[in-house]
Structures are given as structure tokens and as C-alpha cells.
Structure 1
Amino acid sequence: MRKVLLPSLIIIATSLLLIRIFYLQVIDDTLKLKSENNAIKKKYEYPERGYIYDRKGKLLVANQASYDIMVIPREVKKLDTLEFCQLLHMTKEDFIKKMEKSKVYSPRLPSVFLSQLNKSEFAAFQEKIRKYEGFYFQKRSLRDYEVNFGANIFGFITQVNEKLVSKNPYYNSGDLIGRQGVEESYENLLRGVKGIKYFQKDKFNREIGSYKDGKYDTIAVQGEDINLSIDAQLQKYGEELMINKRGGIVAIEPSSGEILALVTAPSFDPGILVGRQRSKNYTALYHDSIAKPLYDRGLLAEYPPGSPFKILTGLIGLQEGVINENTTFFCNNGFSYGRGRFMKCHPHSPSQQLHNGIYNSCNTYFAQTYMLTINKYNNPAKAVDIWSNHLKSFGLGQFMGYDLPTGKKGKIPDSKTYKRMYPNGGWRSTTIVSNAIGQGEVVMTPIQLANMMATIANEGYYYTPHIIKKIEGHAIDKSFTTKHVTTIDKKYFKPVISGLFDVYNVGTARSLRVEGIDICGKTGTAENFAKIGGVRVKLEDHSIFVAFAPKDNPKIAIAVMVENGGYGAAIAGPIASLMIEKYLRQKITRTDLETRILATSLQSRYAKLGGLSDKVKSQLRVSDSILKSKTIIPTFKVKIDSTKEQKPVI
């Protein structure tokens, strides 16, 4: 038996191996297709990208036909280079450079020689393409923008780089991919599926027909259409209100977390990033470090939140039991808090409780509340961690998890923060009291401010903000339908909401009321500093306003940040009121506010900075040249170092 076992195993193993080899070499052609066999040529059919609609079904982004000239360097024969270059409006130097680049990629594989020809260029070259062996057309689909706003939301389409091609087998040289915005976030759905056709070639490299009668051919599948949560009318209106200003507007539907508007200023027409001029225009936008039109201030810009943060200071004070609705503090245009320190306040009645402390925006009231919170446990480190955790339950100090590819965490300090700042100890509530009024070490983005107001409107919970509303045949990610509950009891929100309501009735925003709409809001003014010539200089304050409406069953929560806009009710407040009325009524009755805001330009405030270097002046001219083409929404162009630079993604 032992003598038979070993030979039997060898015979069985050999038989299985031979059967597998026969199958792979004779029956199955898939490996043959994957190999670089010169006798088989692959042609790709590129699908249309999915269409993009707003929440009401308005078409925002469609497609248009485009043609790339592809080249296989090894198949290029002698040609009239001069005629070729004249036909495509290019220099001989460019021709040589592009050919060398294609050879480096691969002499045997096709690569893009010239991309995104328009119809007239395609027609002219098509007539003579038979004269240019080794060149052929590849039809592709480019974006066709139906609107001239929302560039920061959509993102753009660009060619894949070699690094991505090597990592992702779906993409080939010359393929297009979504970058930034929803084009990047939903690339896998929007791009569709490429079709492939295989052709047999003879020994002279001529096509002689379909390989295996098209057995392995596949057809292209168009990308999925998506509906965004954006209200196109509201988005357009917000961008118009922010012309000649700098900042961001974020509006959210509290009941769902859907983003209704995501405005950044300055902005530009998304159509300029389509076609042969796309790269040139993108480069000009990217290098405009003065206006920073590619920098999405709604998601990326981090600011001290100012007075709107007092809302959270009050809620935490109530939760921690250091105050109640009737707790009274006395304010004499501010208060002293040791060692000659004095915090100024606005003129109002001396006696302040929670309700009028909110609508009067009393610094004294909330500074006292904050110090009681930090002193509660006779342990500042423990207390500041408890305070920090309350804030983080509102989604602050962390990435929010929304469905856009860019963002910042903001900053909520904790005991570790102050241990680093004060390694020898000695810090206490009076040291960090600026946190109480949204200054100090607290930093937030506009979308975090808007989500904070949505949470207050919901009396203690929120849904992760998101920009997708519907994808046909696909469910929305569960993370966007999961309720996040804060650490603040629901009962404490009602008195705070009452105070916010009276901000519009008798408080700091009473001049911004919209008849018939119950709006709850809070003005804010955040100090702003910049370095000019190496010196730290105080500039015009940032104007901030947060609100939601209606008071009962809220439909919209909003945050408006206008850099160097001054007092909160001066510019940001009117914009918030106008946006709320526009969304709820689709019309404007406060035409006085609208006229004033549309006519307001902040260019003169930035011009006071002066001292621009030659490099900055040259960047100004770059921005001016684009503006003159009327493709970018007009904006001011001055440099402020209050936001961080964006990394290039092209």
C-alpha cells in the first residue's frame, strides 16, 4: 500500500496541474487579455458622469462632449509636423515636449497627447487624422455647468496623475477624476463604469475585426445621478450678498442635518475650470494668495466664535448647576477679576440674569458663569476637562464627519492644552476667562457654528451635516441619519432659546427683525489680528451672526462670518435675516437691508493694510486679469493672515 500511495499522489497532482494549464491556455482567454499582447488592441468607451441636481430637482451640473487626441508613440510614422502644429494651434517645441512625455509613459501604450478639444478643433483635425498614423480620438465627457455659482460645492474634473494610475487599476493615463467638492466625495458613483472593446490586429498592426466576436466586450454604464441637499436659489442669493466681502455662510436644516447653503467668498464661476483653459485658470486661482478663491471659508477657516459662544457657556453653567435662570450678576460696563484685570462690556442695565444676559450679550454675566464652572471642583484641570467634554458633545473641536473632502477641527482646549501653555502651573479660571465669550483658545469653523445653532434649535441633538440628499438606488450613509445627543439636559435649552428670541425683539438684533418670522439669533464680534511688516496689528473685528427660524419647529439654522466686517449686527446679522427670509418665503420684504448689503464693499478696509510687497502686487494683477474676463464673481483682493493656506490638489 505504501508503495502505491506516493506514485498515486504524484500522478494526481500532475494531472491537476496539466488540467489547469490546459484551461488557462486553451479555454480561458482572460489572462491573454490582461497581457500586453500586440495582436489585441483595447478601446475604452467612457460613460457620462452622473448629473447633479439640487434638493428641489433643479439641474446644476450636466455633461458636454469632449475629445482627446491620443498617441501611441511607436506607431507614429513620418508626418508633416508644421501642418500638424498649425492645425492644433501649438508650437513645435510643445509638440516635441508632449511626444517625449508620451514615450516616457510608454512607447507601446496610448496616452493623452492633447486633451479637451472643442467641437471646431475636433472637426478640423478629424478631416486629416488619416494622415497621422499613431494618433486617434478618444471621446470623453466634460462637465457642463448650468449655473455660475457653487464652485466650492461641486469641485472640478481633472486628469489623473501617474501615481494614482499605478495605485488604482480602474484609471488609465488621460482618464478624468473628480477633485474637491462632491465630485471627489462621490467620484465612485458619479464616474460610472467604462466600457471596453477588444480588436484583433494583423502583422501590419491593422485592425482586422472584433476579438472573439465581441465575447469580452463590455458597454459603458453612465454614472449615478445625485440630488444635493443644497437649495440652489438660496446658494445663489448667499453668494450675491457676499460679493466684495470675505467670509462664509453655512445654512443647515436642523431636523435632518442637510446643508442648505455653503457659501464661501470670494468665489468664482465653476465653468472656468472646464476645457483647454482649465489648468491655466486653476493655476491663477491657486496662486492668488490675496483673495484665496479656492479656500472654502465655510469649512476650512477657523475663527474665534465671539459672543455666539456665550450660548454654550450659559448651557454648561445650567447643566453644572452653578447658575439658574434667576442667578444675578451686576455689570458696570464690565467687571474686575483680580490683579488689575478688567473685562469691558456693552452699556446696559447693571442687573443681569440669563434672559437679558443673552439678549444684551453681557460679557460680565458669562465670564462670571464660566469662572464658577471652572472653580466648582476646586480643581481647574478637572473642571476644564468637564467643560471641554460638554462642548465636544456638540461636535466641536473635532472633524464633523460630513461628506465633503476638506475641513478643519477647530479647537476646544482642555487641561492638556493648559499644561503645555503653563508648564510650571499657576493657571486658574481668571487666566482663561476669555474662553467664556468665545475668545481665548476657542476656535470654530462656520459649519461648526451653524451646527451648534441646529443643535440648540433641536433642544440638544443634531445630525451630522451632509450635502447629499438622494442617490437613486442607493441608501444615504447611516452616519447621516444617526442622532447625536449632547450632554446638556433638554430642559436647559428652553430658557436659552427664549433669550435668543428676544435678541431680535429687544436685544442687539432688534433692527434686523423680519415681520411674521420668529427668529432666534445671536450677534458676535471677534477680535482680529494680522502681521504686517512683522508687527502684530489689530484690524477691524470679524462680524459674526448665528440664528435659527422659526422659533417653533425650526426649518433653518445659519451661521454668517464676514471677515473685518465689524460689529455682528452691522453686516453678518442682516445677511442672516435676508437668507432666512429668502429660504422660508422665497422673497424679500426687508429690501432696505438687501439694498444696503448688496452695496456694501469692504475693499477700503483691506486697502488700509498697505505695504504690499512686489510679489503680492504681482499676485493682485493675476487676480485682476481673471476678474476682467468676467468669469469670476467680483471680489476684493487683499491679504489677511487670519486663515490658513490650502494645499494644492491638482
Structure 2
Amino acid sequence: MRKSVLPTIIIITTVIIVLRLFYLQVIDDTLRLKSENNAIKIIYDYPERGYIYDRNGKLLVANQPSYDIMVIPREIKKIDTLEFCKLLKIPKELFDKQLKRAINYSPRLPSVFLSQLNKMEYAALQEKMRKFSGFEIVKRNLRDYQVHVGANIFGSIAQVNQKIIDANEYYKSGDLIGKQGVEESYEEILRGIKGVKYRQKNKYNKDIGAYKQGEFDTISKNGEDITLTIDATLQKYGEELMINKRGGIVAIEPKSGEILALVTAPSYDPAILVGRQRSRNYTNLYNDSLSKPLYDRGLLAEYPPGSPFKIITGLVGLQEKVIDEQTTFFCFHGFSYGRGRFMKCHGGSGPHQLNNGLYRSCNAYFGNVYLKTISKYKDPGASVDIWAKHVKSFGLGNFMGYDLPTGRKGKAPTSKTYKKMYPNGGWTATAIVSNSIGQGEVLTTPIQLANMMAAVANQGYYYTPHIVKKIKGRKIDKKFTTKHQTTIDRRHYKPVIQGLFDVYNKGTAYHLKVEGIDICGKTGTAENYTRVYGKRVKLKDHSIFVAFAPKDNPKIALAVFVENGGYGATIAGPIASLMIEKYLKGKITRKDLETRTLERTLMAEYNRFVKKPNDSTLLKEIKILEVEKAKEEKIEKTIKQSIDTVKTTTN
């Protein structure tokens, strides 16, 4: 038996090898095609890339013809290089550089010599191409933008690099691929499938017809059209409101999770990344380390959420039954906690319950709610993990899985966070109480806060935010139609929503009311520290506002972040109110508010420390910051006094 095992293995192996060789040499023509590659010219037929539309059918991105000059170095005969350079309007040095690059890539395979010629350049060259052996023109499609906004949404297309070619056999030198945005996320759908034709050549390199009567030829298939969830009019308006400001706006339709607007500021016209100037323009954008126009703040910027996070603090407190609607905490212009520490409050002194705690944004009220939540169990670590579970159920602290290729998780701290921060233990609720007002270790992105407001608007559920509404001939991913439930019972949302409604009726956004629209919202500021030439400096606070509307049957939820904008109701709040009115009414009634917001610039704030100052200048700038902070607080106080007057009148 043992003697027969080895011969059997040898026989079986030999049979397998013989059968495989027979298949490759007789049946399968693939290797023959490759071996005959020197006598066959491969011609690619590039499909038209899919068009992109907004939710209302407005065409956003189309195509325009472009022409690449390809070169096969070994096929170059005697040509007049000076005439060639003159036709293309390029120096001889560039010709030599590009030819050397092509030789390094492959002497016998086509590669890009010069890309993205326009119609005029193509017309001038086409008539004389027969004089330049080894060179040929390949027609491709570049993007043709019908709007000047949405660059962060669309992304762009660019030539593939060698790394992509090595990783994916579909792509060849000179092919275009989606970079960033929708172009990257939906590359395989938008690009289509290129066709291939194999042309046979004789020994004189002349075309003698299709190889094997076109048996291996394939037909190109155009890319599929895509309809985005974006409202182009709202997107344009949001970008206009954010001119000369830095930050992000994200607006979502609560009932579907569809992203209505995704604004990052500053931005740029997507058309500048098309054509032969693309590389230069992209480099300029990339090297702008101050304004960072390529950095999508709506998806990537992680900010302390500030007072809008009090919504979560209140909901968790209700769910954990440490408070009810009538639970009262007293505020004495702030909140004293642990060893003489004090959390300043702008909500006014006196008794606060859930409703006026929200619309007056009382730090003392929510600080107490958080302490009771974390102190519910003997082990603060267990309490923090329960709290974090509630927080994460709103999509915070997680990359939510939307259909864009970039994003950040934010941060919802857990017991692991504090074990790292306090390796010797001993930490208690008072050590982390600043989480209650969105200032501690909590970090959120604008899209996460917008999604949080969508969940509140829906009274306990949300859909994963997404940018594509429909794809011709396909269904969108099932995960975008799957409902996500929060851990908070539905009954707890009603009093919180009423408190957010009263923010506009008699609270911190009273002066931002829009006639005919019931808006629920929350102002916020986030402290903003940085190091300027070795010194820790407190800059102007970030301005934050979250909202949804209408109160009943909400159609839009949004979050607005304006870096260094100050008090939430002074700049982020107006932007939010204007965006809501624009979307729901299609027009703006408060032209005074619109004009002030459009004209408001924060560039002086952003440029304050661009040039390195001497010590005296630095101290002067710090003093100016302190004065401006005092002015902001005076504005807040004035608004609070007007709110108190309204409240007294109402009562």
C-alpha cells in the first residue's frame, strides 16, 4: 500500500500539469494574445463618465472632451522635435524629460507624454500627427462643472499613479480615476467600463485588420448617472454665508438621512482642478496650510460640541431616571464643584428645571445632571461606560459609515479613556464634569452633531447620513435605509424638544426667530486655546448652533460651526436660521440679518498671528483678545437681559 502512494501522486501531478498545458496552449488564447503583443496594437475606447445631478434634477457635473498625447518610445523614428514642441508650445527640455520618463516606464508600452489638450491644441496637432511616429492622440473625458460650488462633495478626477496601476489591472497609464468626494466613493459606477480593440500589424507596422476577426474586442459601457441628495440652491447659499469665515455647515433631512448641504469653508471652484493647470492649482490648494481649502471641516474637523451637548446630558439624565422634568437645581451665576472649582454660567441665577435649563443654557443645571448620572453607581467607570453607550447611540464617537471617503470618529470618552488619564485611579465624577456642557474630552464633527439633531427631531431614531439619492439602474446601499434606534425612550424627547423650541421663543435665540416657521435649536460656544510661539493663548471661542424645523414633522436638521466666531447666537445662529428659511420658504424675509451675515468677515481674527510678532506685539494681541472677549460677554449679557424681560412679560 505504501509503495503505491508515491507513484500515484506522481501520476496525478503529471496528468494535472499536462491538462493545464493543453488548456493554456490549445484552448485558452489569452497567453497567445500576450505573446503576440508585439504584432498587435491595443486600442482602448474610453467611456463617458456618469453625470451627477442634485436632488431636484439639476445637472451639476457633466463631461467635456480632452485629448492626451501617448507615446511608445521604441516606435519613434526620425521626427522633427522642434516642430513638435512648437505645435504643443512646450520647451525642448520638457520634451526630453517626458520622453525619458516614458522610456523608464516602458519602451514598448504606451504612456502619457502630455495630457489634457483642449480642442484648439488638438486641432492644431491632429493634421500633422502622421509626421510623428510613435505618438498618438487618445480622446478622454474631463469633468465639466455646471456649478461653482460643492468641490468637497464632488471631489475630482486625476491620472492614476503607478501604485494604483500595480494594485488594479483595470487601470493603465494615462487612465483617470476619482479622487475624494463622490468621484472616489462611486468610482466604479461613474467610470463605466472601457472597451478594448486588438488590431493586427504586419512587419512594416501597418494595420492589417482586427485580430482574430475581433473575437477579443469588447464594447465600452458608459458610467451610470448619479443623483445626489444635495439641494444645489441650499449648498450655494451655505457657501455664500461662509465666505470669509472658516468652519462647516451640515444639513440633513431627518426622515431619510439624506444630506441636503455639506459646506466647508473656505472652499474653491471645482473647475480649477480640470485641465492642464490642475497640478499647479492642486499644489497651491494643498500648500495653503492656513485656510486649508482641501480640508473638509464638515466631515473632518473635531470640535468640542459646547452647549448643544447639553441636549444629550438631559436625555441621558431622563433615561437613567436621575432627574425628571420637575427636578430643580439652583444656579448662582455658575456651578461650584470639587475643591473650589467653578464653572461660569451665562444662564442667569435662580432655580432651573429642564425647560429653562435648556433655553437659558444653564451650566449649573446640566453640571448637576451629569454628576447625578455618573454618581448613580458606586463605580464611576461603570457609570461612564453606560453614559458613553447612550452618547454613541446618537452616532457620536463613531465613524457613521456615510458614503464619502473621508471622516473622523470624534470622541465619546469611556472608562478606558480615564484609566489612561488617571493611571493611579482615584478619579470621580467632578473630575470629568465638563463633559456635561460639551467641553471635556468630548469631540464631535459637524456631521455628527447634525445627525444628533436629526435623531432628536425624529424622537429617537436616525438613518445613516448619505450623499447619493439614487443611481440609474441600481438600488442604493441597504445600510442607508436601515433605521438606527437610540437608547433613549421616545417619551423623553417631548420635554427636550419643547425646551429647544423655547430657545427661539424666549431663550438664547429669541432674536433669530423666523416668522411662520417653528424652529427648535440650541446655541453653543466652545473654548478655543492654542499655542502661539510657545505661549498658550485663549483665542476667540468657536460659534456653534444646532437646529431642526419645523417643530412638528421636521424637514431639515443642521449643525453650524464657525471657527473663532464667538457667541453661538451672534454668527452661527443667524447662519442656521437663514439656511432653514431658505430651504423651507425658498426666500429670505429678514434681509437685514442676511446682509449682516453675508458681509461678516473673520479674516482679521484668522490672520492675527500669521506673521511672527515680537513679545510686545504678542502681549498687545493677547490684550486685544481679552477686550474682545469682554465685548462678547457684554453682548451675551444684553441678550440675556432681553430674554429675561420677555420671560417676565410672558409670566
Q: Go from structure 1 to structure 2 and tell me whether the alpha carbon gap of 1:127 and 1:430 turns closer, same or farther (over 3 Å shift).
A: same
Structure 2 partner of 1:52: 52
Write the distance in 1 (CA, Å) between the matches of 2:229 and 2:538. Answer: 39
Q: Go from structure 1 to structure 2 and tell me whether the alpha carbon gap of 1:324 and 1:87 turns closer, same or farther (over 3 Å shift).
A: same
Structure 2 partner of 1:443: 443
Q: Go from structure 1 to structure 2 and tell me whether the alpha carbon gap of 1:485 and 1:23 turns closer, same or farther (over 3 Å shift).
A: closer
Write the distance in 1 (CA, Å) between the matches of 2:562 and 2:301. Answer: 11
Q: Match of 2:193, SS?
A: coil
Write the distance in 2 (CA, Å) between the matches of 1:13 and 1:163. Answer: 37
Structure 1 partner of 2:620: none
Which residues in structure 2 correspond to 1:277-292 (within 5 Å)? 277-292=277-292
Structure 2 partner of 1:483: 483
Write the distance in 2 (CA, Å) between the matches of 1:538 and 1:9. Answer: 77
Structure 2 partner of 1:187: 187
Alignment deviations for residues 24-79 of structure 1 (CA, whole Å, 9 cap, x no partner): 44554333224462111110000010000001110000000000000000001121
User: Does structure 1 retain, via aligned residues, the 8 Å contact 2:347–2:361?
Assistant: no
- Which gives a bigger RCO, structure 1 or 2 (Cα 8 Å, sep 6+)? 1
User: Does structure 1 retain, via aligned residues, the 8 Å contact 2:397–2:410?
Assistant: yes
- Which residue type is aligned with residue 82 of structure 2? L
Moved more, 25-34 or 536-545: 25-34
Q: Which has the higher helix share?
A: 2
- Which residue type is aligned with residue 565 of structure 1? G
Q: Match of 1:405, SS?
A: coil
1:229 and 2:233 are equivalent in the alignment: no
Q: Match of 2:597, SS?
A: helix
User: Does structure 1 retain, via aligned residues, the 8 Å contact 2:286–2:292?
Assistant: yes
Alignment deviations for residues 590-649 of structure 1 (CA, whole Å, 9 cap, x no partner): 2121111011011122233253499xxxxxxxxxxxxxxxxxxxxxxxxxxxxxxxxxxx
Write the distance in 2 (CA, Å) between the matches of 1:526 and 1:401. Answer: 26
1:346 and 2:346 are equivalent in the alignment: yes
Moved more, 605-614 or 582-591: 605-614
- Which residue type is aligned with residue 539 of structure 1? L
TM-score for the superposition, normalised by structure 2 = 0.91
Write the distance in 2 (CA, Å) between the matches of 1:360 and 1:472. Answer: 48
Structure 2 partner of 1:513: 513
Write the distance in 2 (CA, Å) between the matches of 1:104 and 1:14. Answer: 41
Write the distance in 2 (CA, Å) between the matches of 1:281 and 1:312. Answer: 43
Structure 1 partner of 2:31: 31
Percent of aligned pairs with the same residue? Answer: 73
Q: Go from structure 1 to structure 2 and tell me whether the alpha carbon gap of 1:324 and 1:120 turns closer, same or farther (over 3 Å shift).
A: same
- Which residue type is aligned with residue 147 of structure 1? V
Q: Match of 2:125, SS?
A: helix
Structure 2 partner of 1:388: 388
1:432 and 2:432 are equivalent in the alignment: yes
Structure 2 partner of 1:570: 570
Structure 2 partner of 1:255: 255
- Which residue type is aligned with residue 306 of structure 1? G
Moved more, 419-428 or 259-268: 419-428
Which residues in structure 2 correspond to 1:455-604 (within 5 Å)? 455-604=455-604
Structure 1 partner of 2:165: 165
Q: Match of 1:43, SS?
A: strand
Q: Go from structure 1 to structure 2 and tell me whether the alpha carbon gap of 1:214 and 1:337 turns closer, same or farther (over 3 Å shift).
A: same
Q: Match of 1:544, SS?
A: strand
Q: Go from structure 1 to structure 2 and tell me whether the alpha carbon gap of 1:213 and 1:394 turns closer, same or farther (over 3 Å shift).
A: same
Q: Go from structure 1 to structure 2 and tell me whether the alpha carbon gap of 1:364 and 1:18 turns closer, same or farther (over 3 Å shift).
A: closer
How far is the alpha carbon of 1:338 from its aligned partner?
A: 2.9
Count of aligned residue pairs for this structure pair: 609
Structure 1 partner of 2:218: 218
Write the distance in 2 (CA, Å) between the matches of 1:469 and 1:358. Answer: 35
- Which residue type is aligned with residue 283 of structure 1? T
Q: Match of 1:517, SS?
A: coil
Q: Go from structure 1 to structure 2 and tell me whether the alpha carbon gap of 1:19 and 1:250 turns closer, same or farther (over 3 Å shift).
A: closer
1:239 and 2:235 are equivalent in the alignment: no
Structure 1 partner of 2:617: none
- Which residue type is aligned with residue 551 of structure 2? K
Write the distance in 2 (CA, Å) between the matches of 1:477 and 1:172. Answer: 29
Structure 2 partner of 1:174: 174
Alignment deviations for residues 272-297 of structure 1 (CA, whole Å, 9 cap, x no partner): 00000001000000000011000000
1:146 and 2:146 are equivalent in the alignment: yes
Which residues in structure 2 correspond to 1:12-91 (within 5 Å)? 24-26=24-26, 28-35=28-35, 37-91=37-91
Residue ranges of structure 2 left out of the alignment (5+ in a row) = 1-5, 615-651
- Which residue type is aligned with residue 480 of structure 1? F
How far is the alpha carbon of 1:22 from its aligned partner?
A: 5.7
- Which residue type is aligned with residue 460 of structure 1? G
Write the distance in 2 (CA, Å) between the matches of 1:411 and 1:10. Answer: 61
Alignment deviations for residues 449-470 of structure 1 (CA, whole Å, 9 cap, x no partner): 0000000001111110000100
Q: Go from structure 1 to structure 2 and tell me whether the alpha carbon gap of 1:210 and 1:610 turns closer, same or farther (over 3 Å shift).
A: closer
Write the distance in 1 (CA, Å) between the matches of 2:569 and 2:607. Answer: 23
Q: Go from structure 1 to structure 2 and tell me whether the alpha carbon gap of 1:171 and 1:36 turns closer, same or farther (over 3 Å shift).
A: farther
Write the distance in 1 (CA, Å) between the matches of 2:368 and 2:100. Answer: 71
How far is the alpha carbon of 1:91 from its aligned partner?
A: 1.4
Q: CA-atom RMSD, angstroms?
A: 2.0
Write the distance in 2 (CA, Å) between the matches of 1:543 and 1:338. Answer: 28
Write the distance in 2 (CA, Å) between the matches of 1:132 and 1:318. Answer: 78
- Which residue type is aligned with residue 397 of structure 1? G
TM-score for the superposition, normalised by structure 1 = 0.91
Q: Go from structure 1 to structure 2 and tell me whether the alpha carbon gap of 1:16 and 1:423 turns closer, same or farther (over 3 Å shift).
A: closer
Write the distance in 1 (CA, Å) between the matches of 2:216 and 2:16. Answer: 27
User: Does structure 1 retain, via aligned residues, the 8 Å contact 2:347–2:363?
Assistant: no
